[in-house]
Amino acid sequence: MNHEHFQAIRSRFNRYVARFRGPDGAFPAMQALKRRHTAHVVADAGRVMAAEGWTLPQVLLGRTAALLHDIGRFSQYAEFGTFQDSASVNHAERGCAVMLQEGICDGLPEDDARIIFEAVRRHNGITLPPDTAADAARIAYVVRDADKLDIFRVMEEAVESGQLEHNPEITWNLQLTGGVSEPMLAALDAGHAINYRDVTTFCDFVMVQVSWLSGQLHYAASRRLARERRVLEYRERLVLARCDDPRVRRYFQRLSDLGGADA
Ligand SMILES: [Fe+2]
């Protein structure tokens, strides 16, 4: 894939997203949030790929997949008024359907299109299926890492700005009170993958993000960025201010003993 391919895809993406502008020409708040998220994910993917020393064609593929990873979010929100997949559609599958329907990847070499679809489809699963081809996995992992890195920022900004009170859909309309729930604590303690159905409070939501720091960031450069941004420390303060549970405290202690985002 080359620069011309990337530019063509970016134009199609921008034209598609522009359909979600409101009557005044501005993007509604939640669509604007996803546009901003997308731009940050592309930037973070770029940082990770640069640190990992990727070649230009690989970088272009990674940037394209990052640009398209949440293309399904726009129609999801327009149709259902939520970003919660379990209450609407799987936004990754929706994204692949939109890309096909809109011919977003038309003209790309077949292998590149396959890799991009795979990265979009797999960007939100708990893990990548073990049979994912190596060329697709490399790109899917950079999207998954950059996505998580920016989800950290989105939540922090929502907390700091007070936007969470106005747009609780950012954290799935979860109740803002209450501590870490029992099934979450059990999964964290056992080191098991978290079942998103067990996420019932804001603290649970934050703990899902914390659990990503333990084995869910694939590239060393991603883990370094998370450490530099003090992702773990921020969440520790946030959760412990809401629930001073010794088991939660111990969990954070264990993670920070391991060096924050695990090495
Ligand atoms: Fe997503």
Question: What tokens were used for 140?
Answer: 């899917």
The rounded Å distance from CA 106 to ligand 1 centre is: 22
Amino acid found at 117:
F
Q: What is the C-alpha separation between 10 and 68, in angstroms, rounded?
A: 9
| Residue-level pLDDT, tens digit, the chain, 263 residues | 999 999 999 999 999 999 999 999 999 999 999 999 999 999 999 999 999 999 999 999 999 999 999 999 999 999 999 988 988 999 999 999 999 999 999 999 999 999 999 999 999 988 899 999 999 999 999 999 999 999 999 899 988 988 777 777 777 777 777 889 999 999 888 877 788 788 888 899 999 999 899 889 999 999 999 999 999 999 999 999 988 889 999 999 988 887 655 54
* Global model pTM greater than 0.85: yes
- So what's the pLDDT on residue 170? 72
Residue whose token pair is 């399904």: 72
Q: Which CATH class is domain 3-149?
A: mainly alpha
The rounded Å distance from CA 147 to ligand 1 centre is: 7
The rounded Å distance from CA 85 to ligand 1 centre is: 10
Helices in 126-195 by DSSP H: which ranges?
134-161, 163-166, 182-190
Helix (H, G, I), strand (E, B) or coil at 167: coil
- Asked if 61 and 3 count as a contact pair (C-beta separation under 8 A), the reply is no
- So what's the pLDDT on residue 26? 95
The rounded Å distance from CA 257 to ligand 1 centre is: 30
Alpha-carbon dihedral of residues 27, 33, 38, 44, nearest 10 degrees?
Answer: 140
The rounded Å distance from CA 81 to ligand 1 centre is: 15
- So what's the pLDDT on residue 120? 98
- So what's the pLDDT on residue 261? 54
- So what's the pLDDT on residue 136? 97
Ramachandran assignment for 172, one of left (phi > 0), alpha (psi -120 to 50 degrees), beta (any other) = left
Closest C-alpha to 170, from 230, 239, 84: 84
- So what's the pLDDT on residue 263? 46
Closest C-alpha to 122, from 147, 92, 84, 83: 92
Q: What is the C-alpha separation between 85 and 91, in angstroms, rounded?
A: 6
Helix (H, G, I), strand (E, B) or coil at 248: helix
The rounded Å distance from CA 82 to ligand 1 centre is: 13
The residue ranges of every structural domain in the chain are 3-149, 174-257
Residue whose token pair is 């067990």: 198
